[in-house]
Structure formats: structure tokens, C-alpha cells
Structure 1
């Protein structure tokens, strides 16, 4: 393993300190990834966005450029579970400071008696493998002081019936701690944001809410069941990512942002 005798670099822990750094957002064409990409661009970071849908990715790139007209924003189409696509992404990104992984397929609910080996394999390849592959591909290209940020969900701490398989792929949190220890000699950091339900296209799909007025009403109704009376916004979710990227003394941590939903 590559090691460095120098300690972790000291720099501003405020998001403004991300200016001039390169961040790769895997799954940056919608929702939290899209919001994070736009915020990073607005701060003057160089941003590389990935996504499977080329048209949606192109729109995301334009959105980020509008948020940060002076920033360089690059889009690379590809699937986070595709090793070749990941390799191309990081080749085009060059030297990298930060990586955010929000992409990955999510297993649907099923009682444990109906969980199959194929379903478990699909869940692993959709959620855990992209995290492992992203780290494997990114690390050789990362500068000391850089960070990898993964994402998890509060089903890990508040499981529900029929969610055993989905909860199991919450092993990304264990992976976070393992990577934090392994990558510390390189002076690289790894953290995870554990999310509750936010108002994103993914969440709207889960609750059957569209992007119209009826969908807004369904989201508002779902939000009334939370302690703060509404679902969080994608920007509120993304702000947690920027905090972890910017603060050079955060590693191996699981940061929960869910508006108190885990209560």
C-alpha cells in the first residue's frame, strides 16, 4: 500500500475550501447527486458527473454549469456497476480529490421466505459492488486529503418487515469503516451519509408520486408523518456530503440526515 509520512493536510473545513478541487459524482444525473454536483460547481470545484441516461446526464451537466458558470463540469455516461464505465470515468477525470457514490439499484420489498440467491446477488451487485469498485478504481488517482463518500439508508437502524434484503446491503456502512482504516496511510478519508426519505425522483417513485401537483400533495402527506412535518429537499441532503468532503478531519463516520425519521 502507498503510504505517506506527512499527516493529513490542514485546510479550511468550510465548503468554500472545495474550490479548485476535483469531485466525481457517480449517480449525478438526478436527486441528491444532481444537487451535490450543482453545489460543488457553485463553489468553484471541478465536477465530473456520471449517469446511465445520456439525455438526463446532459441536462444535469447544464444544470451544474448554470450553478457555477466559472467551474469546469464534465459528464461521462455509464453504469456504476460497469467496471469499464468506471475506469473510463476516472481516466477522464484525471487526478481526483473527492468521490461521491449515490448510484445503485435498490432491491424491492420481499419477505425472507421469498428471498432468492439471484435476488441477493442482484442486490449485492447493485449496491455493494459499485461502492467497492468505485473505491478500487478511484484510490490510485486520489490526492492526499481526498475523500470517498458513500450513501446508506435508515432502514439499517429502523428495519421493517419485508426489508431484510435491502437492510443487508446496508453493509456499505461496515465497508466505510474498513476503508477508512485501510486508506488512512494514504491520507484518504471515507464516510457515509445515512439518509432518510427525501423529496427526490427516487423517493417519489417509491411512494408512487409523480412530478405533478398530485405528486406534490402525496409528498406533502408523507412528510406530515415525520418529526419536522415535511420531507427534506435534495439540497439539504447534498449539504451533508459537502460537509464530509470539506472537513479534513472526518473519516470512518456514518452521518445521519433524516429530519429525525429514525426516531
Structure 2
């Protein structure tokens, strides 16, 4: 049986010198996580589809702390392609933490109106990514490593016409718990973060939320009266990486919105 992982400080400072693989790290919460990780001395590997966005993201992350070129790496490709993930792990060397951020909302619409092929494609594409990340990480992460997924609060408060994307998010949460049990013997932790509305390019792509005024108005219904920042959302990912006694959990970061 694998020996227990030695207790370490659960503060983000413990991530100094570790390598974190951020899948979906070219914008939004993933990019913010990259900058926070660099600020505490971690190495960062950003994975995304758009090579130009990745280049800009790498410069942003490097600006968070001085270091060499090898402290921030990029791998362009589809995170659902296991070859992309293989390349990312190979380029990074030893990886201690993997964080997969959501790739957007797809498959929305009344279930009866959606074409069957579209539903199958959404489920196959969106739900496969966390499985692909888990398959790649399962045999590579060392004892004490972590895998963190992202979800959303609509899983607990469904809205009409969101059946397919919410099925994906719910699947991610079940996957989180199942993997936490499966990978416990290897002393690898698995968690998910259930996000509310966070001020990211994805949020601002939605109707009526393309301005500061629109975002401010959207946040007024939450108990804290605003939407969250990408940095606040990303800090939860660092918590999941740094705290060695947290696994199998779905942590909510939503400004109390799920209580409203």
C-alpha cells in the first residue's frame, strides 16, 4: 500500500517549484490561475486550441513573476485529443497538478428541438475532455498530486433549455467523486469547483453582458451584489492544489448566488 503523503503547509506558497498543467489556460479563469501560480513560484504549462492566444497568455503569466522561459510553457491543440495531452506532459516533465477549466456552454436549447446528432456530439466532446484529462493524469501524477475540474451552480438550480450542458456538468461532478476514490490508493486527489457567474470573456460573450454595466447589473441578484473576478475563481483552484487533505469535493464559488 502506498505510504501516506507527508503533511505540508496548505497555503499556496507550498506550490513553489511545482508544475501545474492548465487545460484551457489561454483565457478567463485558467489564465488567471496561471498568473496566480507563477506569483507563488510554480511552473505553468498552458494548453489551448489557439496558438496566438496561448502566446499572449504566456506573456501575461510570465509577467506575474520573474523566471526563465521554461517556467511558462504552451501546447496548442484540442484538449480532447490524447495526443495533445501526451505532448503537454512530455514537454512539462514531472507534473504535480492538473486543472481543467470549462470550455464554454454548448448544446443549449429545448431538448425536443435539439437534433440527436448535435446532442451526441456535445456529450461526446464536452464530457470526453475531463475523461481524457483524467486518463492522462492517472498514471503520471505523483503521490500528493491533484486533478481539479470545473462545474457550474446551475447543476443544483437547473434552468429551461440547459438540459444537455447541465448533464455534462453533472457528469463531471460524479466523475470527480468516483476518481477521488479510484485514485486514492495512488495518493492523488481529485476535486471540482462549482462556479457561479465570473467576469470572464465567456460571460461577456452572452447577450446583455458585453459591457461593464451589464455585468454589474447581472451581479446585483447575488447576496454579495456582484459577479466574481477571474482571480477569485482561480484562487479556489490553488486551494485545491495546495491543501493535501481535500479530495472528492465539489467546492462552490458563487458569491452566495446559489442561495438567492
Which TM-score band (shorter chain)? over 0.9
Matched, 1:58 2:75: no
Report the alpha carbon displacement of residue 17 of structure 1 after superposing the two structures with TM: 0.3
In the alignment, is the contact (CA less than 8 A) between 1:106 and 1:123 conserved in 2?
no
In the alignment, is the contact (CA less than 8 A) between 1:81 and 1:125 conserved in 2?
no
Aligned equivalents of 1:144, 1:228: Cα separation in 2: 38
Unmatched tracts of structure 2, length 5 or more: none
Runs of 4+ that moved beyond 3 A: 207-210
Corresponding residue for 1:262?
258
Corresponding residue for 1:125?
124
Corresponding residue for 1:182?
182
Judge which range, 68-77 or 89-98, deviates more.
Answer: 68-77
In the alignment, is the contact (CA less than 8 A) between 1:28 and 1:51 conserved in 2?
yes
Corresponding residue for 2:242?
246
Judge which range, 249-258 or 113-122, deviates more.
Answer: 113-122
Matched, 1:21 2:18: yes
Aligned equivalents of 2:113, 2:166: Cα separation in 1: 15
Q: Per the alignment, in what secondary structure is the counterpart of residue 172 of structure 1?
A: helix
Report the alpha carbon displacement of residue 125 of structure 1 after superposing the two structures with TM: 2.8
**How many residues are matched?**
256
Report the alpha carbon displacement of residue 93 of structure 1 after superposing the two structures with TM: 1.4
Residues 57 and 103 (structure 1), Cα distance of their counterparts in 2 relative to 1, 3 Å cut: farther
Q: Per the alignment, in what secondary structure is the counterpart of residue 143 of structure 1?
A: coil
Judge which range, 6-15 or 242-251, deviates more.
Answer: 6-15
Q: Per the alignment, in what secondary structure is the counterpart of residue 73 of structure 2?
A: strand
Corresponding residue for 1:227?
223
Matched, 1:193 2:190: no
Report the alpha carbon displacement of residue 139 of structure 1 after superposing the two structures with TM: 2.0
Report the alpha carbon displacement of residue 36 of structure 1 after superposing the two structures with TM: 0.2
Unmatched tracts of structure 1, length 5 or more: none
Supply the RMSD in Å over aligned alpha carbons.
1.3
Aligned equivalents of 2:138, 2:43: Cα separation in 1: 18
Aligned equivalents of 2:142, 2:230: Cα separation in 1: 28
In the alignment, is the contact (CA less than 8 A) between 2:107 and 2:122 conserved in 1?
no
Corresponding residue for 1:206?
206
Judge which range, 196-205 or 85-94, deviates more.
Answer: 85-94
Aligned equivalents of 1:105, 1:119: Cα separation in 2: 16
Judge which range, 19-28 or 125-134, deviates more.
Answer: 125-134
Aligned equivalents of 1:255, 1:105: Cα separation in 2: 19
Q: Which whole-Å deviations, capped at 9, do the CAs of 1:85-140 have from their partners, x for residues lacking one?
A: 12211111121100000143422421121233322222223321110101101222
In the alignment, is the contact (CA less than 8 A) between 1:104 and 1:126 conserved in 2?
no
Corresponding residue for 1:67?
64
In the alignment, is the contact (CA less than 8 A) between 1:81 and 1:104 conserved in 2?
no
Q: Which whole-Å deviations, capped at 9, do the CAs of 1:134-191 have from their partners, x for residues lacking one?
A: 1101222211100000000111000011111111112100000000000000000000
In the alignment, is the contact (CA less than 8 A) between 2:104 and 2:202 conserved in 1?
no
